[in-house]
A and B are shown apart, each in its own frame.
Chain A
Amino acid sequence: MNLRYITKELYYQKRRTLTSILGLSIGIALLIILNALSLAYRQAAHVPLKEIGADITVQRSGDVPKELTGPVFPCSAVTIRKEEVEKIQKLPGVRGIGTGLLLWVFDPNRAWIVLGIEKENSIGPSLLRSSVTEGRFLEDGKPEALVEQAYARQFGIRLNDTISVADKKFPVVGFVDASRAAKIAVANVYLPITEAQNLAASSRQLQSVSPFEPGDVNLVFVKADQEKISDLAATMKEILGKKATVATPDSFLKLLGSLFALSDKFTLAASLIAIIVAILIAFKTMAGNIAERAREIGVLKAVGWTNRNVVSQLMSEAVIQCFMAGILGLVIGLVTAYGLSFMKVNIPIPWEMSPTPHFLPGGGDQIFKTLRLPVHVPLTLAIFAILLSIIIGGMTGGLLGRHISKIKPSEVLRHE
């Protein structure tokens, strides 16, 4: 292999070199973009759960009482027993757990969506602590309430007012901005979970369709080992029975409805096609280039180059060209990924995960989490693309070099 010969060949045969480099770089860029997009959709699908500090949410659907008075459960979230929560907590792969209790409270002159939250937990709705806009967060053991800011504005509720929920008085100690918080389990009023549990336990309406004891909940948020999420989801369904609703990032991925979000197989198939296209482009352009150089190869052999010398020269040329194509493909991929990262996606939040009574204003509206698609090219993908280019170069150069090195110099050097 003579580097001087390679660089001169690539430099002076600009058309050939550029054709090869551009062709292959498009294939490589395609591979990078497809994978970056797929990854971006996967990351986007994680966002709704990540915002609430969880990887899995667990609910159980049930019946709604015939008469809607006082505290009731929404049909998508009925009792999950304390023992069931403990079983989930002990599953291997579960790193932590958060709980909540979501109630619809129908008072004579107002309907509330009430969420009972734990005082302090990095998993679940107690993350609202960071969304307090006025006043303070709930303190342990005190019967007090936080009110959603927009709701408070709409109904003229002020800080330190006392609100009556299911005939129980709660001083308003703060406001929270739900638009800054997670879109899952959104409520109008937030109470300490024990207060919400007491309200639920004392509701005859609620008990009539879903027996409830203090200590039970109806929302469970699970932080889990990433590689065990699917298995854990299946086990949790077994624990809670067939009415269990277990949401994972994959559930949101399916809701996104994009081809990239539909299945891993699509990305895999598209990537394979991109790789095959890249190989074919490289092979076709280089085969043409090498065929044009049959006479030159004949000269090399006549002046004493062995087949191995010829193959090594052509292979090195191909590897350098493909390496350059890989770099160009990576640059195209990075620029495209940057452009695509301005794209916005709406991730639908299923009604069941943030239920509101349909007859309340905005009750049936679809909730979306809107975010910029987090398209980026991870280092591993970049390295893979460059390595793949080099391998394609080595393979193509080697195969074509072996083929062309078999020509007889006498056949190509006969004078015209």
Chain B
Amino acid sequence: MSKSPILSGTDLSKKYGALEVVKGVSLTIGAGEFVCLVGKSGCGKTTLLSLLSGLEKPTKGHVILNGKEIDGASEDELALFRRENVGFIFQSFNLIPTLSAWENVALPLFPLKMTNEERRKRATELLDKMELGHRIEHLPSALSGGEKQRVAIARALINHPKIIFADEPTGNLDSSTGEAIMDILNRLHRDEGVAILMVTHEVELAKAANRFIRMKDGEVVS
């Protein structure tokens, strides 16, 4: 790996009671790199992604994200850090049902001091890029699965993150919509230089990545 690391995890472990879900994993992701984390369901991929993104604290080990050691940070410090450095894409989109497409995209901006016009402008630009310029006022219930995921991608990009964590982003989509979403992620990585760590259990999707990391029973096997 040639690029400087945006994310590195060292000897990461996570235990829930007696159950150790992640066992001493170490990995590094370079800036602008597209990495896929693959493995069967229940192998600890999502937990590892949560540890690396600061959604969860490791039982053991250290995470350095964009030069900051995050495993010792408080909840609120982590939230602020995520707001400025990280974007998330989830399998089930996780859009707020009462907010329109542009408001969902602007959700990370709501706690910031700025006018709604500014928020709307930034969100609309991203939705235009996602070819959803005509759907900005629609509620999630009026959008198709693919459209919802594109709104979620736009939300992940609103704060110009250095890295996007995507957890099974095509898991709830049919194959052609899934391919379209993968095209968008590829374009982001290629054109915008955003690093992507994507969790998937579909090896075919992992082929789009620069490299993939295979997990089994909480450990990295290759």
- A contact residues vs B (CB 8 Å cutoff): 2, 4-5, 8-9, 11-13, 295-296, 298-309, 408-410, 413-416
Contacts and interface: CB of A to CB of B under 8 A. Distances in A.
B162 interface: no
A5 B79 contact: no
Contacts of B83: 303-305
Contacts of B100: 8
B46 A307 contact: no
Given A296-B96, A309-B111, A303 B116 contact: no
A9 B97 CA distance: 9
Nearest to A12: B98
B107 A414 contact: no
Given A408-B56, A410-B56, A8 B98 contact: yes
20 contacts: A2-B110, A4-B116, A8-B100, A9-B98, A301-B79, A302-B55, A302-B88, A303-B155, A304-B80, A304-B84, A305-B108, A305-B110, A306-B80, A309-B111, A410-B47, A410-B56, A413-B90, A413-B167, A414-B46, A415-B167
Interface in B178-192: none
Interface in B59-77: 75-76
B82 A304 contact: yes
Interface of B: 46-47, 50, 55-56, 75-76, 79-80, 82-84, 88, 90-92, 94, 96-100, 103, 107-108, 110-111, 116, 139, 155, 159, 167-168, 171
A12 B79 contact: no
A410 B76 contact: no
Contacts of A301: 79
A8 B79 contact: no
B116 A415 contact: no
B155 A13 contact: no
Contacts of B155: 303
Contact of B139 (A2, A12, A13): A12
A8 B110 CA distance: 14
A415 B82 contact: no
Contact of B98 (A13, A298, A306): A13
Nearest to B76: A306
Contact of A4 (B55, B76, B94, B103): B103
A244 to B, nearest CB: 71
A415 B99 contact: no
A280 B132 CA distance: 45
B117 to A, nearest CB: 12
B90 A306 contact: no
Contact of A8 (B56, B90, B99): B99
Contacts of B98: 5, 8-9, 11-13
Give the top 5 A-B pairs by smallest Cβ distance, nearest first.
Answer: A304-B83, A415-B91, A12-B98, A410-B50, A410-B55
A8 B56 CA distance: 30
Contacts of A304: 79-80, 82-84, 108, 111, 159
Contacts of A13: 98
A307 B82 contact: no
B103 A8 contact: yes
A260 B94 CA distance: 54
A305 B167 CA distance: 20
Contacts of A300: 107
Given A5-B103, A8-B100, A306-B80, 13 more contacts: A2-B110, A2-B111, A5-B99, A296-B96, A304-B80, A304-B83, A304-B84, A305-B108, A305-B111, A307-B75, A307-B76, A413-B90, A414-B46
Contacts of B88: 302-303
B9 to A, nearest CB: 15
Contact of A415 (B79, B80, B90, B96): B90
A12 B82 contact: no
Given A4-B103, A303-B88, A304-B159, A415 B171 contact: yes
B94 A299 contact: yes
B90 A12 contact: no
Contacts of B80: 304, 306
Nearest to A298: B94
A11 B99 CA distance: 11
B107 A408 contact: no
Contacts of A305: 79, 83, 108, 110-111
Contacts of A306: 75-76, 79-80, 111
Q: Residue among B75, B96, B111 with the most chain A CB within 10 A? A: B111
B82 A302 contact: yes
Given A304-B79, A307-B75, A410-B55, A415 B110 contact: no
A414 B55 CA distance: 11
